[in-house]
Structure 1
């Protein structure tokens, strides 16, 4: 199996397939682009110097595909909005779109870069950017930076896995994929905790608000019966 995968990785089809996966993942989250990229890079790094050109092509294909997928999501959001299709109105997806709309209005750069690592959040932010008419000349550079950072993280994960298990390329690929999944889960969990913490602070009354309310009742006479 390792020899078969290594042989396929050295063919011209591998980078093209990876580019396609990364493009589709830009607007269809079930496509496992990160798994494919990290697995391919781990296998290439563990194979040896012969696979170095292929690894560079994989990195380039992943970056181009990721940026193109982001632009596709932006175009979809700009054309159809974020409510037209049934899946957009599902509770979890709706929460993601609402969250993206609120954050993009305040700090588009930060959330376009951070959302890259949150599967549903990435699609929601990019589509919302199009739906809210964020200028494409501003969106595209941020999307390119996010793609480069994502590819760099994928390469780092793959290099760690191949350094541990360079004697077994297939096992290195499996470990790389597991590491990428674990990191993705941790990032998603961290994002949820941050959202909950901010939501709790927004719902909590401001310090002194209850005391000011009591003073207002006394001043107006509404609290005389108490």
Structure 2
């Protein structure tokens, strides 16, 4: 039986909330944990009144917040370099995030939550860059609550639209989540490309970048 098969019977149990917190915490360092699907399913079932949508959001946000700090702490420990360098993809993503952290880190931390793999990369980069907790923790809290409300809300909306077939609602929620992630990634890449062109223009034509007096 897969994880979703184990999770569905828990949807009407009080054990659901610690399960959500645990899965979303683990997802902060082990991205293959299917926490998003379970949160969507919980939101889907919440349309029937059980579980409580508010408690699903709170438990999920708490788990995400704890998972963020787990990844942040690991990246600052002696295990950080080993954890990052075990995967070429992760090391490239962390290096890219590291270069962008000096520009609006709070916004980047929040936006990365909605990108596939962005959460882990940004949390690891924040740790290795020694971003102070006074800046990391508030951004992580906002991102955690925003993602929890969005994901559980998608499941809830799917349950409302596909009342007779909740599995279809769950599939629709997953699809919309992937679409949003793709849109945000496209915007991020276009913004990065525009910034690169601007920097090249400034390097080749410095006069064009002088502020107006």
Q: TM-score range by the shorter chain?
A: 0.7 to 0.9
TM-score (norm 1): 0.77
Cα distance in 1 for residues equivalent to 2:98 and 2:84: 19
Taking the TM superposition and a 5 Å limit, the aligned residue runs for 1:210-225 are none
Distance 1:116 1:5 in 2: 23
The match for 1:191 among 188, 191, 195 is 188
Question: 1-side partners of 2:65 and 2:33: how far apart?
Answer: 15
2:24 equivalent among 22, 25, 30: 22
- Post-superposition offset of 1:136: 1.3
The answer to whether the 8 Å contact 1:43/1:170 transfers is no
Which structure features the higher share of helix residues? 1
Secondary structure (helix, strand or coil) at the match of 2:59 reads helix
- Report how many aligned residue pairs link the two structures: 203
Equivalent in the alignment of 1:43: 45
Please state how far the C-alpha of 1:41 moved relative to its aligned partner.
0.7
Which among 11, 14, 36 is matched to residue 12 of structure 1?
A: 14
The DSSP-based 3-state class of the residue aligned with 1:119 is coil
Q: Which runs of 5+ in 2 are unaligned?
A: 1-5, 207-213
CA contact (8 A) 2:26 2:33 kept: yes
Residue 142 of structure 1: how far off its partner (Å): 1.3
Question: Which structure 1 segments of 5+ residues have no match?
Answer: 210-226
Which deviations, in whole Å up to 9, do the C-alpha atoms of 1:48-106 show, x marking residues without a partner? 23x153x333222111100000000110111137533474561x323322221121123
CA RMSD of aligned residues (A): 2.7
Q: 2:128 aligns with which of 111, 127, 131?
A: 131
Alpha-carbon shift at residue 190 of structure 1 (Å): 3.2
Partner residue in 2 for 1:178: 175
Instruction: Decide whether aligned partners of structure 1 residues 41 and 86 sit closer, same or farther in structure 2, where only a CA change above 3 A counts.
Output: closer
CA–CA distance in structure 2, aligned partners of residues 172 and 126 of structure 1: 31
Deviates more, 1:24-33 or 1:70-79: 24-33
Structure with higher Rg: it is: 1
Answer yes or no: is the 8 Å Cα contact 1:82–1:88 preserved in 2: no
The question of whether the paired residues in 2 share the 8 Å contact of 1:154 and 1:180 is answered with: yes
Partner of 1:215: none
Structure 2: how far apart are the matches of 1:34 and 1:13?
17
Aligned to 2:74: 76
- Once the two structures are TM-superposed, the CA of residue 117 in structure 1 deviates from its matched residue by 1.2
Question: Which residue does the alignment assign to 2:157?
Answer: 160
